[in-house]
């Protein structure tokens, strides 16, 4: 894609319209969920005809793919920036929580209930795998006297979460546990399931992180 400064007026206009379409899509998702996303409704809100909007996104799935790609790229960039600053597991965990709280609808689009009938293309899942590289590095750096387990052996053929980035079994085990348990807390928090329980979800998140970081 041409850089912003070298785009023709037509290309700049097309990029602006696509951005506006995505903004309306996020507003729809916030109101009714991704499964209710409607290009015709967006066209009406923008004062366009349905066929005119389809010149920018050929289908609902193409639009969803663009939104999912943007979401994964945002988290991958957040993790990469943290890693470049020398992030440890705690820093990555709080970066994840901050990213999720900043835009819950973005979080739920990629880590919530799948959109019925939608299947992300391989290119999207490759971006998602980039997120795991700094996580695996952080887990590999943790001290651990834990012996290998049958679970670790089972993972031996599934270590490459990012291209050409193999990880020791212990690090992979810790990364999987970290990823699933912290996402469990985040999903419950963002869905409002802790409301009225009388405790601070941030403290629960930190306590779970401390447990996961222990040797």
CATH number at residue 12: 1.10.10
Do 109 and 168 reside in the same domain of the chain? yes
Looking at 32, 58, 84, which one is the last position of a domain?
A: 58
Do 124 and 80 reside in the same domain of the chain? yes
Per-residue confidence (pLDDT) for residue 20, from 0 to 100: 96
DSSP secondary-structure letter at 192?
T
The average confidence (pLDDT) of the chain is 84
pLDDT above 90 for 22:
yes
Domain that holds residue 46: 1-58
Per-residue confidence (pLDDT) for residue 191, from 0 to 100: 92
Tell me the percentage of the chain whose pLDDT exceeds 70: 85
Between residues 34 and 18, which one has the greater pLDDT?
18
Under the banding of pLDDT at 50, 70 and 90, the label for residue 94 is very high
Per-residue confidence (pLDDT) for residue 144, from 0 to 100: 62
Do 100 and 175 reside in the same domain of the chain? yes
Do 98 and 200 reside in the same domain of the chain? yes
Do 95 and 191 reside in the same domain of the chain? yes
Do 52 and 102 reside in the same domain of the chain? no
Burial class (CB in 10 A: 0-12, 13-18, 19+), 132: buried
pLDDT above 90 for 206:
yes
d(CA 125, CA 208): 27
Q: What is the pLDDT of residues 132-180, one digit of tens each?
A: 888 888 888 877 655 444 444 444 444 454 444 555 577 788 888 899 9
Between residues 7 and 55, which one has the greater pLDDT?
55
Could you tell me the CATH number of the domain that includes residue 160? 1.10.357.10
Domain count, the chain: 2
Distance from the first to the final alpha carbon of the chain: 46
Residues near 113 by Cβ (< 8 Å), separated by ≥ 6?
Answer: none
């Amino acid at each position: 894609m041409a850089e912003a400064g070298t785009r023709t007026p037509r290309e700049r206009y097309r990029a602006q319209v696509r951005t506006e379409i995505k903004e309306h899509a996020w507003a729809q998702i916030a109101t009714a969920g991704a499964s209710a996303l409607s290009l015709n409704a967006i066209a009406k809100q923008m004062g366009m005809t349905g066929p005119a909007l389809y010149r920018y996104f050929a289908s609902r799935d193409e639009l969803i793919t663009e939104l999912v790609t943007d979401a994964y790229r945002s988290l991958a960039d957040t993790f990469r920036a943290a890693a470049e600053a020398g992030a440890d597991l705690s820093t990555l965990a709080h970066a994840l929580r901050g990213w999720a709280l900043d835009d819950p609808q973005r979080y739920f689009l990629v880590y919530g209930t799948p959109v019925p009938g939608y299947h992300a293309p391989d290119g999207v899942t490759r971006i998602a795998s980039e997120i795991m590289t700094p996580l695996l590095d952080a887990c590999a750096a943790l001290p651990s006297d834990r012996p290998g387990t049958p679970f670790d052996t089972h993972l031996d053929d599934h270590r490459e979460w990012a291209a050409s980035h193999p990880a020791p079994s212990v690090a992979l085990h810790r990364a999987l546990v970290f990823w699933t348990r912290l996402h469990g807390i985040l999903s419950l928090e963002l869905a409002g399931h802790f409301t009225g329980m009388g405790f601070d979800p941030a403290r629960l998140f930190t306590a779970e992180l401390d447990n996961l970081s222990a040797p």
